[in-house]
Structure 1
């Protein structure tokens, strides 16, 4: 595990932490926005209700006052026969008419409207009695006028006053109910906000716990990988140096024993095993210290064609037929030709080994858009081998995971790393008995 990979992991951690805080911030903004909107609506509704109820209550109180102010005017006129009292009475009648009309306009309920109807009828009766009393007084029948004033008009005034009190009470009840509704709405809003806050806190705690656990797992894994990488590099170097010496001495020995066929066969077997060990050592070194990309213009068609030529003899000897479908035209783009060849070689060899009794390997190249890339090359390797179960697929790109008795488990891990360094991706689709398809996607821009 080199410094570049550690930086990549730290970058990934930073993205996760930033993502978590971003979610928390968005939730906080959402809570604040909902609280603002709901509170604003509640205030508007409460103001509208209170404004209507207060207007209705004021009209009821003014209506009652307009009636009460008419109470002693006729009696005063009877005492001194001064027509000023009758002019004042006419003004108070106009006040009553004004506030009665206003009360009708702001009446909210059927109960208010019914009370106003009763007030209108009672006032009409009261006004008729008053007019009759005044006419009797002016006709010289003061005693009859006073009788109406003291008996009939008194009862009518009391009934009118009671109805006005009923109207005021009805409005006070409405205001009280409106206040209760407003308080209930505020309580509901408060509960809603606290619920969102609790959910946000719980989600934040969950995200914190989840990210902390994932980060700890990644750190532990990174530490293990770093130690393992260093150990692999040391072991590889310790093995590589003696292997080089053995290979050189073996070459000299082969020259001396060229005339001995039996010794020549033995030397060939030993050389093959040494080459296999060197390949294993190279895998360990690549795992421990992956080489930097050497980007240059290259044609993937040619790279893949050259790789197929390298394994053609092995595939043919095992009864594996390779079918090529290169739909994409020759196209040069910046890539590390040697590392791509290593990826293709590893995938093709795995496919051939998955078909010990022979089969077909279809290799195709297409130029197509992708969900992640606007323009990309897709290289597919589809074999007719045994396939693999889901639990194997999930672990294919883990270091040291292998299903082969003599495999190191580093081939696909290194291949995946090389493709990711090219900003691409590698995917595997496989099911038992249905073969395996490996897709390598390389962005062109």
Structure 2
């Protein structure tokens, strides 16, 4: 019987896996740590409301009762002083004390929060009205010189005063009792909050104990055995305990996984790039054999026709459009051929500043036709490095013409030459091309250097890819930025090694 019970218990525990047990204990701890403060905040809010809505008003009402009683006593005193001295100034003070009593009575009515208190206040108001009328009658009799009648009514007014004062005492006693009950209720709720806190601490300690048991017995012990491996109780060399050992193993494994993932991504990118290059090569070869030669013949014939024909303005415009479109086709074919079979670099000492100047001289008329002004931001010429000036010039030409085509209605371009130190690359040289065009949408920034990607209706999508290839073959890199509404900026960066420069292997 005992064996069957033990087997049943083991089966029931096996149904609840390690992850489920850890999650269950963590969930319990989280629940207790959340529900406890929520309950405490709730009770604290209730206690605060009790204090602000009840205790404050009760204290204000009790204060008003004291003020009513003081004003009533002052009225009695001022009336007595008048009876004795017959000085009119005491009547003025009596009137002032009456106004004070009436103001406090009205304020008390606005701050009442109990029906019983409202009844008492109305009784006080009615009794005070009778008392005030009777006192005025006594004062009138004194002023008329009817002393005996005034004294007789004076004793009756004292009875009214005693009754009115008794009502004020009842009013004060009522609110003292209410404040005592409020204080008792506040203490009870405070005790309840403390009880909830104690229960929460006990539950947290219990759940924490079981969580520690699960972590040590079913997680840390297996980790310790994994760290020791096949060496029994000998920890890994160079590490003081099994936690560091397993941590180091996991870190090494994580590095290996990250490196494998990076290699896989690079291999996939290289494979995709190779497929695109292969496709571009085949396409370029077909275009070269099929289009280039007939296209050259067409261009030569057009040149001959242009010299021999006399065309009116309309025909001349059509002729120029035809020539321009044929030139565009020739450019696309040339880009395909250049991307598929890039020329070898011919390195020689050259300054990037000289490349910038040569490029702007070459593009002078094109820039004027685009209505684009170019400014060179240069504090001093950039140092000389070993590079292929023709390839760099071609890359810069592509960047400048792309900027011109983006600024349909004209604009300005700033070519900024910079030097600096960028870790871990060391000294660098940079040429930045900044335009005032519409910019590049953020989702497209990561794709603009991909071959065959273009946002132009007539573009080949190879211009920026060629620029990227040229810069990378010189050991550098190119970046693109486009602040919203502030044009685009392309930066070619080249590592600089002083007189050694760059050497192509």
Q: 1:386 and 1:379 mapped to 2: Cα distance?
A: 21
Q: 2:256 and 2:354 mapped to 1: Cα distance?
A: 53
| Residues 23-422 of structure 1 mapped to structure 2, 5 A cutoff | 35-37=236-238, 193=245, 197=249, 199=250, 203=254, 206-207=257-258, 210=261, 213-214=264-265, 217-218=268-269, 220-237=271-288, 238-258=290-310, 263-329=315-381, 331-422=383-474
Deviations 1:385-404 (A, max 9, x none): 21222221111211111111
Deviation at 1:410, TM superposition (A): 0.6
Q: Is the 8 A contact 1:389 1:431 kept in 2?
A: no
Aligned residues: 266
Q: 2:248 and 2:417 mapped to 1: Cα distance?
A: 52
- Cα 1:319/1:334, change in 2 over 3 Å: same
Q: Is the 8 A contact 1:328 1:366 kept in 2?
A: no
For structure 1, the residue ranges without an aligned partner over 5 or more in a row are: 1-27, 40-188
SS in structure 2 of the partner of residue 381 of structure 1: strand
Report the more deviating stretch, 308-317 or 376-385. Answer: 308-317
Deviation at 1:220, TM superposition (A): 3.6
- Cα 1:36/1:265, change in 2 over 3 Å: closer
- Cα 1:434/1:228, change in 2 over 3 Å: same
Give the TM-score normalised by the residue count of structure 1: 0.53
Deviations 1:19-46 (A, max 9, x none): xxxxxxxxx9xxx99623556xxxxxxx
SS in structure 2 of the partner of residue 286 of structure 1: helix
The alignment's C-alpha RMSD in Å is 3.2
Deviations 1:296-351 (A, max 9, x none): 23332232122223333343344432222222326433221111111111111111
Give the TM-score normalised by the residue count of structure 2: 0.47
Deviation at 1:274, TM superposition (A): 1.4
Q: 2:426 and 2:251 mapped to 1: Cα distance?
A: 37
Q: Is the 8 A contact 1:324 1:363 kept in 2?
A: yes
Q: Which residue does the alignment assign to 2:496?
A: 444
For structure 2, the residue ranges without an aligned partner over 5 or more in a row are: 1-226, 498-505
SS in structure 1 of the partner of residue 484 of structure 2: coil
Deviation at 1:190, TM superposition (A): 5.9
Deviations 1:364-419 (A, max 9, x none): 21333333444332211111221222221111211111111111111111001101
Deviations 1:194-241 (A, max 9, x none): 6765x3696378448625742552354144124213223223302211
SS in structure 2 of the partner of residue 214 of structure 1: helix
